[in-house]
Amino acid sequence: MAVHRPVRLPLPSFSSSALPFRTFESDEFRRLHESGRDPVFFGLNPGHRFSHPHCRWGLFYLAGTVNTCLWERFGDDILNAGSPVSGSIWTRRQLSTIRVSKVRVCDLTDENVRAQAGVDLSALHHTDLSVPQAWGLAVQNHPNSFDGLLYPGRWDGQPCLGLFDRPGLRDGLTVISTVELTVSVEANAFLAEKRIALI
């Protein structure tokens, strides 16, 4: 008989939990996006991890490294297709470096914060997106008025950042550089190291 662990959703007590802030004074993150599009854009895509349809503020997703960006976007394609990645999608993507300044987030990469919040990694990475989206909504509605949440990437465990489009938050986001994915040294190294073919 199959044994199932509990799926951990936000409890009513979450809103009164004394969660700490983690502040980014001036830190650089990476963003993978469609070519020709402004790198800084927020939305509530139902296919995105923490974008609950009842969120008041749209979300903007970033990653700490190019490697993490690529895994988050292409990881399912790589596993589903046995390594090939769509060349037409790859050639229509850009990588931007974005400086994040003066934002305060809920740090779910910290095991102590997760314990205080009552969430485990399986909930944050659950394949039923309604589970992590419930956490995205709960963090957004927490009385601390977090600017976003820091969480471990699903593929390599490295930090990813989801920011909420609260008033004034965009003032702390600065695009440092943008390059085509096809000419990125780090992106091409990713393809070579993982032996990924573009088709």
Tell me, yes or no, whether 78 lies in a domain: yes
- Our count of domains for the chain comes to 1
Tell me, yes or no, whether 18 lies in a domain: no
Q: What is the pLDDT of residue 85?
A: 87
Tell me, yes or no, whether 98 lies in a domain: yes
Tell me, yes or no, whether 39 lies in a domain: yes
Tell me, yes or no, whether 130 lies in a domain: yes
- The range of the structural domain enclosing residue 138 comes to 33-194
Q: What is the pLDDT of residue 183?
A: 96
Tell me, yes or no, whether 56 lies in a domain: yes
pTM: 0.94
Mean pLDDT for the chain? 95
Q: What is the pLDDT of residue 81?
A: 65
Tell me, yes or no, whether 38 lies in a domain: yes
Q: What is the pLDDT of residue 194?
A: 87
- pLDDT, tens digit, 9 for 90 and up, residues 2-58: 888 899 999 999 999 999 999 999 999 999 999 999 999 999 999 999 999 999 999
Q: What is the pLDDT of residue 59?
A: 98
Distance in angstroms (rounded) separating the CA atoms of residues 29 and 147 = 15
Tens-level pLDDT at each residue, the chain (199 residues):
788 889 999 999 999 999 999 999 999 999 999 999 999 999 999 999 999 999 999 999 999 999 999 999 999 888 886 667 889 999 999 999 999 999 999 999 999 999 999 999 999 999 999 999 999 999 999 999 999 999 999 999 999 999 999 999 999 999 999 999 999 999 999 999 988 888 8
Q: What is the pLDDT of residue 83?
A: 67
Tell me, yes or no, whether 50 lies in a domain: yes
Q: Is 168 left (phi over 0), alpha (psi -120 to 50) or beta?
A: left
Distance in angstroms (rounded) separating the CA atoms of residues 118 and 158 = 21
Sheet holding 148-152: strands in order across? 22-24, 103-107, 148-152, 159-164, 59-63, 27-34, 93-100, 173-180
